Amino acid sequence: MKGWGTALIKDIKSRGYVEVNGVLYPPNSIQALSIATKPKKRTKVLKTGGIDDTRNIKNKEKYNDPFIQFVKQELGIELWPEFYFCTDRLFRIDYAIPEFKIAIEQEGGIFMKGNSGHSSGTGIARDMEKNNLLVSMGWRLIRRQPSEMLTIETISLLKQILS
């Protein structure tokens, strides 16, 4: 018999009754209406594969790592991290310069033992598919090892491609 009270309260709340300080009030009562409940706004995700893509804007606001700062300092160019470049697939580029269609991939884990992540057969096939799609869409791709990211060589390579 202990659970019937919980079930009754749950049923009453499902009918719109509002609990205020341990007391349940009908939905249209003054007490219930005095509780300001705002419905959650669902923002529509815009998926364009460009700089107006909601996912890309969110990633740009979220990430600001040393490589992004380095490129901005050396070249005065904004990098877009974790950039979704197409709408058909959920492929992302580690870093992108969308106005010049330049993609920079950091190839991590290439010397790891075993079949993990990008070094497994499935991972390599997925990366090949992503890279081929990227190039077919007119992007230029730079692939660097983590140890090469924060180097003058990477900046020189970017300058060469930009000119």
Taking only the tens place, the pLDDT of each residue in 90-107 is: 899 999 999 999 999 998
Q: Give 1's pLDDT tier (boundaries 50, 70, 90).
A: very low
Q: Where are the domains of the chain?
A: 4-34, 54-162
Which bin fits 27, alpha (ψ -120 to 50), beta or left (φ > 0)?
Answer: alpha
For residue 11, pLDDT beyond 80: yes
User: Hunting for tokens 């509780």 — which residue is that?
Assistant: 35
Higher pLDDT: 118 or 127? It is 127
Q: 102-106 and 18-20 as β-strands: parallel, antiparallel, unpaired?
A: unpaired
Q: Into which CATH architecture does domain 54-162 fall? A: 3-Layer(aba) Sandwich (3.40)
User: Do the beta carbons of residue 155 and residue 74 sit within 8 Å?
Assistant: yes
**Burial degree of 85 (CB within 10 A; 0-12, 13-18, 19+):** buried
The model carries a pTM of: 0.70
